[in-house]
């Protein structure tokens, strides 16, 4: 639905920023790693449109 477009775009940008890319000198790193100086964690990622539960 159109109501999820903002979240979809935000997720796409985030995934792009934590994905490996080859730099000018052939070294592979992520934009996140270059900006923050540490490797991004991916353990918090979930499959898009999957079931999720909140524990209260």
pLDDT for the residue 6: 92
Report if residue 45 sits inside a domain.
Answer: no
Q: Which has the closest alpha carbon to 20: 3, 1, 4, 42?
A: 42
Report if residue 42 sits inside a domain.
Answer: no
On the 0-12 / 13-18 / 19+ scale of CB atoms within 10 A, 8 is exposed
Number of domains within the chain: 1
Residues making up the chain, counted from first to last: 56
Report if residue 26 sits inside a domain.
Answer: yes
Q: Walk along the chain (56 residues) in steps of 10 and give the mean pLDDT of each run.
A: 86 88 80 89 79 83
Report if residue 18 sits inside a domain.
Answer: yes
Report if residue 9 sits inside a domain.
Answer: yes
CA–CA distance, 17 with 55 (Å, rounded to integer): 30
Q: Supply the range of the domain harboring residue 29.
A: 2-36
Report if residue 19 sits inside a domain.
Answer: yes
CA–CA distance, 37 with 29 (Å, rounded to integer): 10
């Amino acid at each position: 639905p159109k109501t999820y477009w903002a979240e979809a775009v935000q997720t796409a940008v985030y995934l792009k920023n934590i994905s490996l890319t080859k730099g000018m000198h052939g070294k592979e790193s992520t934009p996140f790693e270059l900006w923050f100086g540490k490797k991004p964690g991916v353990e918090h990622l979930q499959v898009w449109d999957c079931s999720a539960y909140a524990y209260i």
